[in-house]
């Protein structure tokens, strides 16, 4: 069963904003837990809108959960997924990113002088779509085909960013951040001393 994380101070909104504050008396892993009405630092000065899941902090304030939205409709992403939150009995992977493909398509077609105003309107109106692709690779030995357990690696993403990690006992890498489209990656292994 996967854990859907609570929202707390510092967690991101899909629009690029961050939760500015949470409850002063309740925290998780050193950061205040967000609730309905917690402020978000964003271009619209939004607040957290807790969903219909009916979880509350001990003083009765509705608690915010991964996937709840801002007052402008931007999904919120928790840094506590898999760590602290509620169990998801479906076992489905937790969505880790949301996109506005309609706004991106509009931005690609506009002249630079018309872009700012049209893009701001599109960002306000375009629906958010959950990421469709995420990747967790299994690294296998070239000579024997067995999983490379506890092996250090680096993954170079298509955008040039690099993520580092160590495989688990079955040779799995960490789960890459979700994207709207497929991407090509390169995986580099740390050479063992001979």
Mean pLDDT, rounded, for 73-102? 82
109 phi and psi angles, rounded to 5 deg: -105, -10
Closest CA to 152 of 134, 136, 166: 166
Taking a C-beta distance cutoff of 8 angstroms, is the pair 165, 173 a contact?
Answer: yes
87-117 as b/e: b if 16+ CB within 10 A: eeeeeeebbbbbbbeebeebeeeeeeeeeee
How would residue 111 be classed by pLDDT, with cut points 50, 70 and 90? low
- Residue 164: its pLDDT value, please? 86
190 vs 147: which has the higher pLDDT: 147
Neighbours of 2 (CB within 10 A): 16
Segment among 92-101, 111-120, 143-152 with least mean pLDDT: 111-120
pTM for the full predicted model = 0.60
Residue 77, classified by CB atoms within 10 Å of its CB into exposed (0-12), middle (13-18) or buried (19+), is buried
Cα gap 108→101, rounded to integer Å: 11
Average pLDDT of the chain, as a whole number: 82
Q: What angle do CA 18, 130, 155 make, to 5 degrees?
A: 80
How would residue 163 be classed by pLDDT, with cut points 50, 70 and 90? confident
Question: Tens of pLDDT along 14-72?
Answer: 888 999 999 999 999 999 999 999 999 998 899 999 988 878 999 999 999 999 999 98
């Amino acid at each position: 069963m996967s854990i859907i994380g609570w929202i707390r101070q510092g967690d991101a909104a899909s629009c690029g904003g961050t939760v500015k504050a949470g409850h002063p008396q309740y925290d998780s892993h050193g950061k205040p837990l967000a609730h309905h009405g917690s402020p978000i630092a964003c271009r619209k000065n939004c607040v957290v809108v807790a969903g219909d899941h009916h979880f509350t902090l001990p003083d009765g304030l509705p608690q915010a959960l991964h996937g709840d939205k801002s007052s402008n409709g931007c999904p919120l992403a928790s840094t506590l997924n898999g760590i602290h939150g509620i169990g998801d009995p479906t076992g489905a992977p937790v969505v880790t990113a949301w996109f506005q493909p309609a706004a991106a398509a509009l931005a690609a077609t506009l002249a630079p002088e018309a872009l700012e105003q049209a893009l701001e309107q599109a960002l306000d109106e375009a629906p958010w779509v959950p990421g469709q692709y995420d990747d967790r690779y299994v690294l296998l030995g070239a000579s024997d085909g067995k999983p490379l357990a506890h092996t250090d690696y680096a993954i170079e993403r298509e955008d040039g960013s690099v993520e580092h990690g160590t495989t688990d006992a079955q040779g799995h890498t960490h789960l890459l951040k979700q994207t709207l489209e497929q991407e090509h990656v390169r995986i580099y292994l740390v050479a063992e001393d001979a």
